[in-house]
C-alpha cells in the first residue's frame, strides 16, 4: 500500500501553512478591537458570537489566534452549537480537553438556567391546547391560516398568521410556512384554519393544502403535527380523523405525532399477495455517529420508503442468486438485495451514482484511519485561507454559500491532485463523502434544477465519511441500460426507469460536475453543463426502449417499478409509458402479476397529484 502523510502541508500543497505564519497574533490587533476590551467598554451586546466565545477560550494556539479559533468553532457547528460535545470540540486543532470542558460546561450552565425559566412555556400536547391559543379564530369573518411553531419539547415558540382570505393551494406556498420554521429552529408545526361558515368539516381544498404541507415538512425535516379546522359548530383535527380518535394527543406513548406518517399508512386499495410484512427488509446499518449512509440522500424516484413493500413481494414471487438493479439510482434497492442475494449487479449511467456504488459497494482496499484523518484535515480548512476556484466561481452564493463552495472546490481539487496517493476505493470514498456532505447543505429542494434566492447563505459545510456496505459479489456498471441488458444474465432483473420527462442528468448536474471534475462551461441560471446522459426513457420513445429492454434482458424474473402519474396536470410529470402498455409488454415475456400501493413520493416541485400509486409488476419469464 502507498504510504501517505496526513499533514496539512501535504494536502494543501504548502500554501495555507505559509499563509498561516503571517496570521495576526492577538497582540497585533488594536486594543479596542480585542474582544475583552470591547466587552468592557461597550458591553456583551456589542460582541459577535465568536467574540464572546473568544473570551471564553482565553487564548489561541501558534498560528491561529483566539478570534480565528472562535470563528472556526462557530462556523463549524452553526445552529448546532448548543449541542456541541467535548469530543466534537477536541476534533478541532487547538482545542484540548480543558478548553473543550470549559465551553461545554458554560453551555450546560446556561441551558440549565434557561430550562428552569422556560417552565412557564405554553406546552401544546393535544388539540385542546391548540384551540386554546387560537380561540379568537372561530369568530373571524374571513378565512385565516395560522401556524404554531413548536420546539422539541412541544413548547410554543411563535404563533403566526400565514394567510388571510380563501385557503387555496396556489395562495399558500410551503415557503411561507417553513421559512419562519427554519428561522425559529422549530422542531414541529401545527396549522389552524377557520371556517367562517360555521361548519368544521374539511373541504377538498383543505385536504390538498394539508397533503402538500405535510409532504413539504417531510422534505424539510420539520414535522407537521396536525392541521385543525375551527368553526362555530366545532373543530376538526386531520390527525385525529386519520388516527380515528376524538381525544387527540400529540405525544401519546412518547412519540411525536406526524401527519405524514399517517398519510403514508393509508390502506392500499387492494392487499398485496404477500400478506403481513413481518420482517424488516430495509438495510438498517449500525448507525455510526458522524457517518453518512447510503440512503441519506433525497433522490427523485428513490425507493427507500417502498423497500419493505418491494422486497416482501420479491421474496414471495422470485427465486435465485443474482439480482440486477439496472436503473439503480441511489442504490438502496441493491443494498437490501445484498442481504438476500449472493450476487448483485448495479448500473446507472450517471457519474455521481457510479462513484457512490464504487464507494459503498466496491471491493477495493481502503484504510479507515487514513480516510478519517484526511476528512478531519479537510474539516479544518478555513475559507478565508483560500482563493476562489471553479466551484465557488460558479456555485458560490447560489447552491452553497461563497465560503462553503470555496472549501468544496478546494477539497475536490485536493482529492484529484492526490489521487496517486489513494487506492481506487479511497478515491471514490472521499468523493462520495464530499457528495453526500454537499447534498445535505445545498440551498435547494433536493435537486439542482434551481436554487432558492436568498441574500445570505450559511457557511455550514462539514464533511462526514461514508459508511460502506458489506456485500458478497458485486458488479458495477455505468452504461445505458439497454446496452447493458444485451451483456448480462441475472435471476432477477429489477427495472426502475424514469417515469416522466425529467432528465436525471439535468436534475443532479451539480453532483455530476463535482464527481467528473472536468470543469465544463456551465450555462443558464441553474448553471448546467452541456447535456449528457439524456435518457430515452424520458422521451416519447420510452415505450419502444422498454419493450426492447424487456425483450433483450436475460433473467428468470422481471420486476418493474412504475407509478401512475400518467394523468398528472403537469406535462413534465406525466408518465411516458402507460401502465397498460407496461403490462402488455411484460405479458409477452411470461405470466405477470401487478401489485399496487398508495404512496406519497418525493417530487420536490410544485406538481400536485393527489392519487399517487406505486406499481410493481412481476413477470415470471416463460422458458427461462
Ligand X SMILES: C[S@@+](CC[C@H](N)C(=O)[O-])C[C@H]1O[C@@H](n2cnc3c(N)ncnc32)[C@H](O)[C@@H]1O
Using CB under 6 A, list all residues that contact ligand X.
299, 301-303, 327-330, 332-333, 348-350, 353, 480-481, 496-498, 504, 535, 537
Residue placing its CB nearer to ligand X in the complex, 240 or 329:
329
Q: Where are the alpha helices (DSSP H) in 268-389?
A: 307-317, 332-340, 351-361, 368-379
Closest contact distance (angstroms) between CB of 451 and ligand X is 21
Dihedral pair phi/psi, residue 52, rounded to 5°: -60, -40
Q: At 240, which helix (H) or strand (E)?
A: helix 238-243
Closest contact distance (angstroms) between CB of 304 and ligand X is 7
Q: Where are the alpha helices (DSSP H) in 24-163?
A: 35-42, 49-57, 66-77, 86-90, 97-117, 127-133
Residue placing its CB nearer to ligand X in the complex, 67 or 500:
500
Of 275, 279, 298, 295, the closest CA to residue 287 belongs to 295
Closest contact distance (angstroms) between CB of 545 and ligand X is 7
Residue placing its CB nearer to ligand X in the complex, 167 or 616:
616
Sheet with 554-563: list strands edge to edge.
473-477, 343-347, 322-325, 489-495, 554-563, 613-621, 590-598
Query: In this structure, are residues 464 and 437 in contact, taking their beta carbons and an 8 Å threshold?
Result: yes
Closest contact distance (angstroms) between CB of 477 and ligand X is 9
Residue placing its CB nearer to ligand X in the complex, 303 or 556:
303
- Quote the CA–CA distance of 482 and 229 in Å, as a whole number: 52
Of 487, 463, 468, the closest CA to residue 358 belongs to 468
Closest contact distance (angstroms) between CB of 299 and ligand X is 5
Is the four-CA dihedral 220, 222, 225, 228 of positive or negative sign? negative
Beta bridge partners of residue 597, listed in sequence order: 614
Closest contact distance (angstroms) between CB of 428 and ligand X is 17
Residue 249 has which C-alpha cell? 394527543
Beta bridge partners of residue 616, listed in sequence order: 561, 595
Closest contact distance (angstroms) between CB of 319 and ligand X is 21
- Quote the CA–CA distance of 54 and 380 in Å, as a whole number: 18
Closest contact distance (angstroms) between CB of 284 and ligand X is 16
Closest contact distance (angstroms) between CB of 579 and ligand X is 15
- Quote the CA–CA distance of 572 and 144 in Å, as a whole number: 33
Pairing mode, strands 223-231 and 188-194: parallel
Closest contact distance (angstroms) between CB of 90 and ligand X is 37
Residue placing its CB nearer to ligand X in the complex, 156 or 511:
511
Residue placing its CB nearer to ligand X in the complex, 178 or 349:
349
C-alpha atoms less than 13 angstroms from C-alpha of 212 in its C-beta half-sphere: 23
Residue placing its CB nearer to ligand X in the complex, 399 or 499:
499
Of 254, 253, 221, 251, the closest CA to residue 239 belongs to 251
Positions of E strands within 195-321: 223-231, 234-237
The DSSP 8-state label assigned to residue 67 in this structure reads H
Residue placing its CB nearer to ligand X in the complex, 394 or 603:
603
Residue placing its CB nearer to ligand X in the complex, 194 or 330:
330
Closest contact distance (angstroms) between CB of 349 and ligand X is 4
Residue placing its CB nearer to ligand X in the complex, 328 or 386:
328
Residue 274 has which C-alpha cell? 404477500
Residue placing its CB nearer to ligand X in the complex, 158 or 305:
305
Residue placing its CB nearer to ligand X in the complex, 317 or 426:
317
Closest contact distance (angstroms) between CB of 479 and ligand X is 7
Is the four-CA dihedral 71, 76, 77, 79 of positive or negative sign? positive
Q: How far apart are the first and last CA of the chain?
A: 45
- Quote the CA–CA distance of 531 and 513 in Å, as a whole number: 12
Residue placing its CB nearer to ligand X in the complex, 255 or 530:
530
Residue 107 has which C-alpha cell? 453551555
- Quote the CA–CA distance of 444 and 433 in Å, as a whole number: 19
Residue placing its CB nearer to ligand X in the complex, 335 or 430:
335
- Quote the CA–CA distance of 238 and 228 in Å, as a whole number: 6
| Long-range CB contacts (within 8 A, 24+) of 86-93 | 91/376, 91/379, 92/380, 93/61, 93/64, 93/380
- Quote the CA–CA distance of 561 and 574 in Å, as a whole number: 15
Q: Nearest residue by C-beta to ligand X?
A: 329
Query: In this structure, are residues 584 and 528 in contact, taking their beta carbons and an 8 Å threshold?
Result: no
Residue placing its CB nearer to ligand X in the complex, 348 or 385:
348
Closest contact distance (angstroms) between CB of 351 and ligand X is 10
Angle at 310 between CA 307 and CA 313, to 5 degrees: 145
Neighbours of 197 (CB within 10 A): 12
Query: In this structure, are residues 231 and 198 in contact, taking their beta carbons and an 8 Å threshold?
Result: yes
Rg of the chain on CA atoms, in Å? 27
Closest contact distance (angstroms) between CB of 251 and ligand X is 33
Residue placing its CB nearer to ligand X in the complex, 241 or 482:
482
Closest contact distance (angstroms) between CB of 405 and ligand X is 24
Closest contact distance (angstroms) between CB of 574 and ligand X is 15
Amino acid at each position: 500500500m502507498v504510504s501517505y502523510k496526513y499533514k496539512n502541508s501535504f494536502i494543501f500543497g504548502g500554501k495555507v501553512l505559509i499563509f498561516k505564519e503571517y496570521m495576526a497574533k492577538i497582540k497585533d490587533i488594536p486594543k479596542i478591537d480585542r474582544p475583552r476590551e470591547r466587552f468592557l467598554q461597550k458591553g456583551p451586546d456589542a460582541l459577535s458570537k465568536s467574540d464572546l466565545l473568544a473570551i471564553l477560550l482565553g487564548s489561541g494556539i501558534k498560528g491561529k489566534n483566539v478570534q480565528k479559533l472562535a470563528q472556526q468553532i462557530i462556523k463549524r457547528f452553526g445552529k448546532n452549537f448548543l449541542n456541541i460535545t467535548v469530543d466534537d470540540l477536541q476534533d478541532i486543532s487547538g482545542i484540548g480537553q480543558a478548553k473543550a470542558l470549559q465551553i461545554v460546561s458554560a453551555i450546560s450552565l446556561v441551558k440549565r438556567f434557561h430550562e428552569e425559566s422556560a417552565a412557564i412555556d405554553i406546552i401544546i400536547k393535544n388539540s385542546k391546547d391548540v384551540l386554546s391559543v387560537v380561540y379568537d379564530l372561530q369568530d373571524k369573518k374571513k378565512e385565516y391560516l395560522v401556524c404554531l411553531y413548536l420546539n422539541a419539547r412541544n413548547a410554543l415558540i411563535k404563533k403566526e398568521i400565514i394567510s388571510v382570505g380563501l385557503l387555496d393551494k396556489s395562495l399558500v406556498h410551503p415557503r411561507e410556512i417553513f421559512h419562519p420554521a427554519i428561522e425559529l429552529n422549530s422542531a414541529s408545526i401545527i396549522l389552524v384554519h377557520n371556517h367562517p361558515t360555521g361548519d368544521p368539516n374539511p373541504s377538498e381544498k383543505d385536504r390538498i393544502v394539508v397533503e402538500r404541507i405535510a409532504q413539504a415538512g417531510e422534505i424539510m425535516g420539520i414535522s407537521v403535527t396536525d392541521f385543525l379546522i375551527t368553526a362555530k359548530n366545532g373543530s376538526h383535527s386531520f390527525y385525529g380523523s386519520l388516527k380515528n380518535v376524538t381525544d387527540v394527543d400529540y405525544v401519546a406513548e412518547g412519540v411525536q405525532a406526524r401527519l405524514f406518517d399517517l398519510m403514508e399508512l393509508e390502506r392500499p386499495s387492494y392487499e398485496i399477495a404477500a400478506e403481513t410484512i413481518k420482517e424488516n427488509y430495509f438495510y438498517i446499518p449500525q448507525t455510526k455517529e458522524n457517518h453518512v449512509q447510503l440512503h441519506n440522500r433525497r433522490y427523485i424516484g428513490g425507493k427507500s420508503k417502498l423497500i419493505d413493500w418491494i422486497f416482501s413481494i420479491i421474496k414471495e414471487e422470485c427465486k435465485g442468486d443474482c439480482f440486477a438493479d439496472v436503473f439503480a439510482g441511489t442504490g438502496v434497492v441493491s443494498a437490501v438485495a445484498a442481504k438476500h442475494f449472493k450476487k448483485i449487479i448495479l448500473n446507472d449511467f450517471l457519474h455521481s451514482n457510479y462513484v457512490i456504488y464504487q464507494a459503498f459497494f466496491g471491493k477495493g482496499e481502503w484504510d479507515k484511519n487514513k480516510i478519517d484523518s484526511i476528512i478531519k484535515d479537510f474539516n479544518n480548512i478555513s475559507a478565508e485561507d483560500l482563493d476562489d476556484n471553479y466551484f465557488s466561481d460558479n456555485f458560490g452564493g447560489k447552491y452553497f454559500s461563497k465560503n462553503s463552495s470555496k472549501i468544496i472546490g478546494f477539497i475536490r481539487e485536493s482529492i484529484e491532485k492526490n489521487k496517486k496517493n489513494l487506492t481506487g476505493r479511497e478515491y471514490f470514498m472521499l468523493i462520495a463523502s464530499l457528495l453526500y456532505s454537499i447534498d445535505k447543505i445545498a440551498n435547494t429542494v433536493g435537486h439542482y434544477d434551481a436554487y432558492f434566492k436568498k441574500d445570505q447563505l450559511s457557511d455550514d459545510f462539514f464533511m462526514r465519511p461514508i459508511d460502506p456496505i458489506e456485500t458478497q459479489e458485486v458488479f458495477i456498471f455505468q452504461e445505458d441500460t439497454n446496452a447493458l441488458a444485451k451483456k448480462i444474465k441475472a435471476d432477477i432483473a429489477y427495472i426502475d426507469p424514469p417515469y416522466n420527462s425529467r432528465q436525471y442528468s439535468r436534475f443532479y448536474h451539480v453532483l455530476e460536475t463535482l464527481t467528473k471534475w472536468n470543469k465544463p462551461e456551465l450555462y443558464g441560471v441553474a448553471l448546467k453543463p452541456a447535456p449528457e446522459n439524456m435518457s430515452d426513457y424520458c422521451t416519447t420513445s420510452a415505450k419502444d426502449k422498454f419493450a426492447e429492454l424487456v425483450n433483450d434482458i436475460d433473467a428468470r424474473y422481471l420486476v418493474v417499478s412504475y407509478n401512475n402519474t400518467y394523468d398528472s396536470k403537469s406535462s413534465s410529470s406525466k408518465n411516458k409509458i402507460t401502465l397498460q402498455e407496461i403490462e402488455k409488454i411484460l405479458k409477452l415475456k411470461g405470466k405477470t402479476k401487478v401489485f399496487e400501493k398508495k404512496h406519497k413520493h418525493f417530487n420536490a416541485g410544485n406538481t400536485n397529484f393527489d392519487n399517487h400509486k406505486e406499481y410493481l409488476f412481476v413477470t415470471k419469464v416463460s422458458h427461462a
